[in-house]
Chain A
Amino acid sequence: DAMVIQNPRYQVTQFGKPVTLSCSQTLNHNVMYWYQQKSSQAPKLLFHYYDKDFNNEADTPDNFQSRRPNTSFCFLDIRSPGLGDAAMYLCATSRAPGENQPQHFGDGTRLSIL
C-alpha cells in the first residue's frame, strides 16, 4: 500500500496560472519535504516541515509556497508557473530527528507548463 501519495501523477497548467500539488502520508512522520527534480539532475530541496515548523531553502523562488494543514497533508503552491518550473515534484517524509531515518518518497507529480 502506498504510504506517501501524491496527486495528481501528471499535471498540466498554463504559463502564469497558479497550480497546487498535493501530498499525503499514512506513516505519521514528523517531517515532510518537497523536492524539484529535472531530467538527469539530483533532487533539489525546496522546503520542508518539521511538524508545523516551516523551513525554506535560501534559493527557493518566492513563486513557490507550501502549506501543511495537519500531519498527514502537505501542499506545494506555485503562484505563477514559468516554463522553467516544468519538472518532477517529489514529496518525501521521514521520522525525526533520528539520524538513520531514510526519506520515503511518493511517486511524484510531473508538471508541464503550456
Chain B
Amino acid sequence: GQNIDQPTEMTATEGAIVQINCTYQTSGFNGLFWYQQHAGEAPTFLSYNVLDGLEEKGRFSSFLSRSKGYSYLLLKELQMKDSASYLCAVRSPAHAGNNRKLIWGLGTSLAVNP
C-alpha cells in the first residue's frame, strides 16, 4: 500500500532548531514536497526533493534519502509564526498513473513557545 508517516505533534522553543521527519512507503517515487499550513488556512509550498541530499532555502532545509524512504524538514532560528502544521506529500507514478497527484501525510503540528 501507500503510506506516509509523520509525528503528530512537536514542540520547540523560539530561536531553536527543529527537525520534522517523514517516512514513506510508496509504489515508485517521483519527488517529495513539504507544505506549511497555518490553522484555518491553505497549505503553502515550502520545498521539493527528488534527488538524495539536502536542499536549503533560507531558514528551512529539506533532506531526502530515497533508499531509506525518509525525508526531514529542518527549521532554524524558530519564530513564533512558524507554529503551524507541516505536511509531507509524495508524488508516486504508480499511485497516480501520471505525475499529477500526491499522497499526503497527516501533518505534524508544530508549536513554537517563547
The minimal Cβ–Cβ distance linking A68 to chain B, given in whole angstroms, is 14
The contact string, 1 if C-beta is below 8 Å from chain A, for chain B 93-106, is 00000111110111
Q: Are A48 and B42 interface neighbours, CB within 8 A?
A: no
Contacts of A99 in B (CB 8 A): 30-31, 50, 91, 99
With A50-B100, A107-B41, A108-B42 known, 13 other A-B pairs at CB within 8 A are: A40-B106, A40-B107, A42-B104, A43-B43, A48-B100, A90-B43, A97-B98, A97-B99, A100-B50, A102-B48, A104-B45, A107-B42, A108-B41
The contact string, 1 if C-beta is below 8 Å from chain B, for chain A 25-52, is 0000001000000001111010010100
Flag whether B87 is at the interface (Cβ < 8 A): yes
The minimal Cβ–Cβ distance linking A40 to chain B, given in whole angstroms, is 7
Contacts of A88 in B (CB 8 A): 40
Q: For chain B, give the interface size range.
A: 20 to 34
Cα A106 to Cα B41 in complex, Å, equals: 9
Task: Give B residues with C-beta under 8 Å from A.
Answer: 30-31, 33, 40-45, 48, 50, 87, 91, 98-102, 104-107, 109
Flag whether A94 is at the interface (Cβ < 8 A): yes
The contact string, 1 if C-beta is below 8 Å from chain B, for chain A 52-65, is 00010000000000
